[in-house]
Chain A
Amino acid sequence: MKLRISTRNVRKLVSAGLVVVLMLVFSLSADSFWNWRNMGNLFHDAAFLGLIALGLSFVMTGGGIDLSVGGIVCVTAILVSRFGTLGGSSVPGVLAALFAVLCGGAFGLINGVLVTRVRLTEFVTTLATGILYSGLGLLLAYRDNGKLSGVIVPKGIQNESFLSLGEKVGGTGVFLVTYIWIALSAAMYFVMRRTNFGLHTYAIGSHSRSAGMSGVNVRRIKTLGFVISGAFAGLASAMLTANMTAASASLGNNGYEFQGIAACVVGGIALGGGKGDPVNAMIGAIFLQTILNGLLKFNIQAYWSYVIQGVIIIAATAFDTLFGRVTHMLRERRSIAGREAV
């Protein structure tokens, strides 16, 4: 029996292989890497980034870009922390998470409407809304007892049900967010690969105009992509806020949008669209977090980790270009050989 692996799976295997190699290198060189606590932390931190990248994968596969997710994380963190302790009551954690998803989705919808209805470019729109959302987050953070004050007073969240979202599950040592991320990645893989919406996203990412001429509702699919991206950023924000036990107004400055995009690119999602899926985003998030976690073992300064991340993103993009050329060439040859045989 001849084993055939599709091109898209080869790319996944390459990224996953690199993750394994990285983990092996760090395991052999650092005592504290390969233990359950560290793995729990690594996958916990990867889950936040992974949720953001998971949402972004829909926008990017559709050939777009969303630079507003950092802003969405910031403003949703403030909103959900206020909602979670609404009127001094303890709103159930699940409801608070759902609220965050809805908020994030609503912010994504604004992006989608601006891009598809007002016809602004995605780059400028999401850059601007990202700044706007971060600003809104700060504005809300400055509000104290209904009044604008000159001070951000950090408020610890006391709602146990909400805080439990940021904890480990039972005695497993694995954080709830990790399970949620894995489950949602699997579900979204199915959505991307097996539903009309997913297939239309690929079509738009490959060639938007052709897709439109073939009857794909480009506006709707693109808008939905932004809604999904925002919703996942909102969910990540709620889980992060629950873990930190407080909303931080500085979350908007953390560059989550670029980390998320980097995770997608490193995982194998094409910046130009049409290639990749949520599993790529998942692998990319694990890859980047493994590097960050591993570098901490050697206390390599932050600027070096940025340099290394940058080089990796360039290498991943270069690899994709080369890989695309090679597979295209092979396909051509096969096609010529097939015609000659006929």
Chain B
Amino acid sequence: MKRAMKIIATILTIALAVSVISSCAPKESDAGDAPVAGGIALSGKDIRNDPLKIAYITLSTAGIGNRMHELAYEEQLSYYPNVDFQFFDGEYNPDRQRQILNECVTQKYDAVIIEAMGTEELNRAIVEAEEAGIPVITMNSGASAIHTLHIEGSDYEIGYKAAELLGEAINGTGNAILLDVPAEQKAMGRMGTGFEEGLAAKFPNIKLLEKPGIANWSQENANTAMRDFLTKYPNPGDINIVYGASDDIAIGAIQAIEAAGRQDEGILVFGNMGYPTGLQAVKNGSMFGTGFSDIYLEDTSSLTLALYFISAGINSISAGYTKTPVISMYVPPITAENIDSYIEVSHWKQVPGVFTS
């Protein structure tokens, strides 16, 4: 009994010591020139000469989009050798992203660009980063907490446009399947919503049969879902059009259609993102179309703006934002008609080994 009490007493003493010492330690100010809410102006930095640190926290480092991120940031940063740019893997895990964001504050990063996994889960961490003077820029998937900038593709519009193009192609009559973004990201990735509303508004005779969210945007999961639907709707003409929230998802659906031997039924598949696999599929005719999210442009824009915020000493708190500014970037539809011109200008050609034609 005495021994147990000794151990408990030791643990409590350590806890007490930790709290006492930490209460004597410098607080948030050690995270940088932290402004308080209401706005002390941040001091701007010389972005050509001062050593700077910028972090990019991805949803996940899996996926081909990251190759384009690397290309875009490497090219731009060759002009800024003073910038230490780091990619962090968010592992499709908001808790992990929260830890990384906290780490960026600890390491006194000058700016953070993040693809947030969830609109709410990172709010506290984002606010803490902004309070520490760090401009936080969300990319594509944003957060509801007020932060310095949100950059997104015109997801809703491309989904709506895909519905128009596919609906016209089947003369406004038939059955559709929507393979949507992961359920927890539906509030952010609105291409599926655009597709659904586009169909409802323009083609009342097209029935939306299914609209599952595809976990992790994965080709395999899309393949599995589509395989199930092909079994559930076994006859030619049961399914006429499929919209995938990403090219990976659309390719997974095409593979399932081919594996079921139903590629001659004329099921039209439309993807999104304009990844090399998607562009190639449009080029070779296996995919009806895709949306072209210019990742290169989004990335270089985010970096340019991050450097501007650092240079000007601006973030949401110092600028007194009452809501997050949003920049929406146009996502054009790509079909057989314009595929060649987009492949010609696509930066994917610069990424080694991803574009074979």
Contact = CB atoms under 8 A, between A and B. Distances in A.
Given A35-B106, A156-B144, A172-B19, 16 more contacts: A36-B21, A36-B22, A138-B183, A141-B183, A153-B187, A156-B119, A157-B120, A186-B8, A194-B1, A246-B121, A248-B118, A248-B184, A251-B94, A279-B11, A296-B103, A301-B61
Given A174-B22, A186-B12, A248-B118, A154 B27 contact: no
B70 to A, nearest CB: 13
Nearest to B178: A150
A297 B22 CA distance: 21
Contact of B31 (A37, A150, A155, A251): A37
A190 interface: yes
A45 B184 contact: no
A154 B22 contact: no
24 contacts: A35-B30, A36-B30, A40-B22, A41-B102, A141-B183, A142-B183, A152-B184, A154-B121, A157-B120, A190-B4, A246-B120, A248-B121, A248-B184, A249-B184, A251-B95, A253-B92, A253-B93, A254-B93, A292-B99, A293-B103, A296-B99, A297-B103, A302-B89, A302-B91
A41 B106 contact: yes
B25 A36 contact: yes
Contacts of A296: 88, 99-100, 103
A209 B87 CA distance: 53
A246 B7 contact: no
Interface stretch (A115-123, A237-245, A260-268, A318-326): A237-245
A166 interface: yes
A179 interface: yes
A6 B45 CA distance: 58
Contacts of B105: 37
Interface in B79-133: 86-89, 91-96, 98-100, 102-103, 105-108, 117-124
Contacts of B118: 154, 246, 248, 250
A250 B92 contact: yes
A294 B184 CA distance: 30
A44 to B, nearest CB: 8
Interface in B1-29: 1, 4, 7-8, 11-12, 14-15, 18-19, 21-23, 25-27
B233 to A, nearest CB: 18
List 6 A-B pairs, minimum CB-CB distance, nearest first. A246-B120, A36-B25, A173-B22, A156-B120, A302-B89, A151-B186
Interface of A: 32, 35-41, 43, 45, 138, 141-142, 150-157, 166, 169-174, 179, 182-183, 185-187, 189-190, 193-194, 240, 243-246, 248-251, 253-254, 279, 292-293, 296-297, 299, 301-302
Contacts of A45: 99
Interface residues of B, number: 53
Contacts of B4: 189-190, 193-194
B94 to A, nearest CB: 5
Contacts of A169: 19
Contacts of B21: 36
B207 interface: no
B19 A151 contact: no
Contacts of B347: none
Contacts of A244: 94-95, 98, 120-124
Contacts of A171: 23, 27
B133 to A, nearest CB: 14
Contacts of A35: 30, 106
B262 interface: no
A173 B108 CA distance: 17
Contacts, number: 151
B95 A248 contact: yes
Contacts of A154: 118-121, 184, 187
A245 B86 contact: no
Nearest to A242: B124
Given A172-B19, A250-B184, A302 B61 contact: yes
A157 B123 CA distance: 11
Contacts of A253: 92-93
A157 B8 CA distance: 35
Q: Choose among B15, B26, B186 the residue with the greatest number of A CB atoms under 10 Å from its CB.
A: B15
Interface in B122-148: 122-124, 144
Which of A151, A153, A179, A187: most chain B Cβ within 10 A?
A151
A32 B107 CA distance: 6
Nearest to B7: A189
B338 to A, nearest CB: 32
Interface string B153-194: 000000000000000000000000000000110110000000
Contact of A245 (B7, B100, B121, B186): B121
Contacts of B123: 156, 244-246
A40 to B, nearest CB: 7
A338 B1 CA distance: 29
Contact of B183 (A152, A183, A245, A302): A152
B61 A297 contact: no
A116 to B, nearest CB: 28
Contact of A299 (B88, B91, B102, B117): B88
A254 B98 CA distance: 13
A170 B117 CA distance: 30
B225 to A, nearest CB: 13
A150 B89 contact: no
Contacts of B23: 170-173
